[in-house]
Amino acid sequence: MSRKGTKEERDLVQMFWDSNFAAMRAPASGGATKKPLPDVIAGNGSVYFAIEVKSSSQDRIYIDSGKILGLREFSDIFGAKPYIGVKFRRKKWIFIKLDDLETTKNENYKLDKDLALKKGIELDELIGKDKQVKF
């Protein structure tokens, strides 16, 4: 994990805490274990999120299919809602449902900024501060 990625994860964890959600970085995400773990886990006793964190200065992000499968597996077992949390350069956090990702010809996934802005939601909407919650 790059130092930038670690910083983004910490910032996201703090945003959840500021919104009355307990949150933590999964210390063994990124391949330190064979078990599928998301980058960030957050919950408030009623709803739980498992988030794979991505950030980029580019307009497109590629995600290995194993990461998505692992996120789905973890979320199913834990009872969490799985999302990709993405932060493009100088943009707010955007959260995308896994089913909204595009597949690539080699069975991985990609997410570009336009799709993220069209299909994604911001943190307030994700956690239910916005009345039009899309769970």
Q: DSSP letter for 121, please.
A: B
**What are the structural domains, with CATH classification, of the chain?**
3-127 (3.40.1350.10)
Q: What is the model's pTM?
A: 0.86
pLDDT at 33: 62
pLDDT at 35: 80
Interior angle at CA 83, CA 103 and CA 85, nearest 5: 95
Q: Which one, of 64, 4, 15, 5, lies nearest residue 39 by Cα?
A: 5
56 CB-near residues (< 8 Å, 6+ apart) = 86, 87, 88, 89
pLDDT band at 89 (very low <50, low <70, confident <90, very high): confident
Per-residue pLDDT of 29-84, as tens digits, reads 555 567 888 999 999 999 999 999 998 889 899 999 999 999 999 999 999 999 99
The active-site residue, picked from 2, 19, 29, 56, is: 29
- Residue 65 annotated among the catalytic residues of the structure: no
